Amino acid sequence: MTASMSQCLMQMVQTDYQIADYQSDITPRWCTGCGDNAILTAMQRLCRDEQLPPEKTVCVSGIGCASRLPHYMNAYGFHGIHGRALPIAEGIKIRRPDLSVFVTTGDGDCCSIGAAHWIHAVRYNMNMTMLLHDNNVYGLTKKQASPTSPKGLKSNTTPFGATLNPLNPLSVTLGISNVSFVAQVPDWIPELLYDVLSKAYHHKGFSFIRILQRCPNFMNHHFDAAVQDPLRVRMLTHADGLRLKPELSRIYKNQETHDPLDLNRAQALAMLDEEIPVGVLYSNPHVPCYDELRKGKRPSTPQLVETVLNEEFDKVGIWPEGQQATSNGE
């Protein structure tokens, strides 16, 4: 997303937003150790660093643990219905380019009930940032298998183990026409979480971030292998993507220079089996954005409405003898 003129102006007026300015008066009610906490912190840091006026920031979500995030942000929020965060966000954005729009959603919310909207949101490529909190399970409804649950997961609806292979949100997103930004990052490396979020925010178009999110309540130790073994994480670095600080570089030695414009390599990386790719898989700022394509060519004014209505009335008009059309509406 790019900062608009009005945002720049606002920044000139007030440039001292602090983290606290983005914290609502409600204390987050996620479980201790829940990855959602880290995501919220990264969001608030981003808003502070970008000095986003809270009234110009809108967080939209569906239903689920992850979708509670807008309540904890001091910004405009829309905690909608299960699976439908994206179309709500699109509606918000279509006539309001001045608003910064973020969407937070869970893997059930996005990849199951909202899957159609996910595909089409990628295709619309509207200017907004989407955070998929992927904990591989349904949290809020107490441990049912989600589309991203690993095969064999014992859950309340799959007591003998999930029978299907999981859906891969990265390769799905990369396969959709007009995809313009895909990244993956775990919740347990706060620096990277912030960096990826920042990259996504600055991307022009629809930015899709899959966040590997720990759910200690229902999926305890699920991501332990990756948390404990840095070599399981493949860092994708590039001048146009992530740049690792030396401290992180020393820990995460499994690195690959990956050009975010290389879609084929991105697909291959998305399909890695044993390792987790982290960083920007794909970023292409040249994909047309639906909100810009559909932007009104002129502002809607009462005069314009009157003129157009009269033109249309003329086309189907009947006049008393002697009177005629005000304009030839053909």
Ligand X SMILES: Cc1ncc(C[n+]2csc(CCOP(=O)(O)OP(=O)(O)O)c2C)c(N)n1
Residue 223 in contact with ligand SF4, rule: CB under 6 A: no
Residue 30 touches ligand SF4, criterion: CB under 6 A: yes
User: Which lies closer to ligand X via its Cβ, residue 44 or residue 146?
Assistant: 146
| 59 lines the binding site for ligand SF4 (CB under 6 A) | no
Task: Please give the residue ranges that form the binding site for another protein (CB under 8 A).
Answer: 24, 26, 53-56, 58-60, 63, 70-71, 73-81, 84, 86-96, 98-99, 116-117, 119-120, 294, 296-302, 304-306, 308-310, 312-313, 316-321, 323, 330
- 141 binding ligand X? (CB under 6 A): yes
Please identify, using beta-carbon distances, which residue of 109 and 195 lies nearer to ligand SF4.
109
Residue 146 binding target from ligand X, another protein, ligand SF4, none, CB below 5 to 8 Å by type:
ligand X
Taking a C-beta distance cutoff of 8 angstroms, is the pair 68, 29 a contact?
A: yes
Q: Is 144 helix (H, G, I), strand (E, B) or coil?
A: strand
User: By CB under 6 A, is residue 108 in contact with ligand X?
Assistant: yes
Tell me whether residue 111 or residue 276 sits nearer to ligand X (CB atom).
111
Nearer to another protein, 35 or 77 (CB): 77
Query: Quick check: 217 binds ligand SF4 (CB under 6 A)?
Result: yes
* 108: partner contacted, choices ligand SF4, another protein, ligand X, none (Cβ within 5-8 A by kind): ligand X
- When binding is defined by CB under 6 A, the residue of 7, 10, 36, 105 that contacts ligand SF4 is 36
* Block residue for tokens 């759910």: 215
Cβ pair 136, 219 in contact under 8 A: yes
CA quadruple 89, 174, 168, 47: dihedral sign: negative
**In b/e form, how buried is each residue of 242-272, taking b as 16+ CB within 10 angstroms?**
bebeeebeeebeebeebbbeebebbbebbee
- Distance, CA of 109 to CA of 182 (rounded, Å): 18
Give the start-end residues of each E strand in 107-148: 128-134, 137-138, 144-145
Interface segment toward ligand X; rule CB under 6 A; list 21-29, 70-78, 133-141, 237-245 = 133-141
Q: Which has the closest alpha carbon to 236: 260, 212, 213?
A: 260
Q: Binding mask 72-91 vs ligand X (x if CB under 6 A, - otherwise)?
A: ----------x---------
CA 190/CA 17 separation, integer angstroms: 21
H/E stretch holding 8: helix 5-13
With CB atoms as reference, the residue minimizing the distance to ligand X is 106
The single residue listed with the structure tokens 């349904």 is 138
256 vs 238: CA distance, rounded Å: 9
Which residues would be at the binding site for ligand X (CB under 6 A)? Answer: 63-66, 82, 106-109, 133, 135, 137-141, 146
Which residues would be at the binding site for ligand SF4 (CB under 6 A)? Answer: 30-31, 34, 36, 65, 135, 139, 215-218
